[in-house]
Amino acid sequence: MEPLAAIEELRDRLPFQMDEDEERDALGALEYLSDEARHYGSESWKTPLVTPPQVCRLVLRAAVRYMKNPDGFSQSRAGDETVAWSNTDGEDAGTPHFTDREIGMLKKISGSSKLYVADFTTGPRRDANCDVGYVPCGPGEAPFPYFSDPVEPW
């Protein structure tokens, strides 16, 4: 599918001129991040024209972050040649990725929520294949007592 941000937009946001290899890497990052945005957000985001502009900006933000620091360094020092990686990004360090906050924003923009509906009952149904006053369990398991009065449980 088409990336949700153009390579020209990414070029404009970088503080350096990309060479041919960096442009190829940048295009791959845009494609990867666009697919991730669709995964966390909505499959209907097929092109930038039908995608909320906030999503396209999130893709660009993550791509710029990656292109500025493709190795995922958190510390660099020229004098002693010190380089360090951070554990804050975990296994995503050095890869194009969205932060947890950005993933939450993608989900919010798409309208997905963490509200789920669970089907449950408060006790045995009247048509349950079980003695009155007991809750049926799984196959082969004995029912357990639920009511204190087996004559008038309802």
Tens-place pLDDT, residues 125-145: 554 555 556 666 777 777 777
* pLDDT(146) > 90: no
Confidence of residue 152 (pLDDT cuts 50, 70, 90): low
Helix orientation angle between 100-110 and 20-40, rounded to the nearest 10 degrees? 50
| pLDDT tens-digit map of 73-107 | 666 566 666 655 555 555 566 789 999 999 999 99
pLDDT tens-place string over residues 6-40: 999 999 999 999 999 999 999 999 999 999 999 99
Token digits for 123? Answer: 């006790």
Residue 18: predicted pLDDT: 95
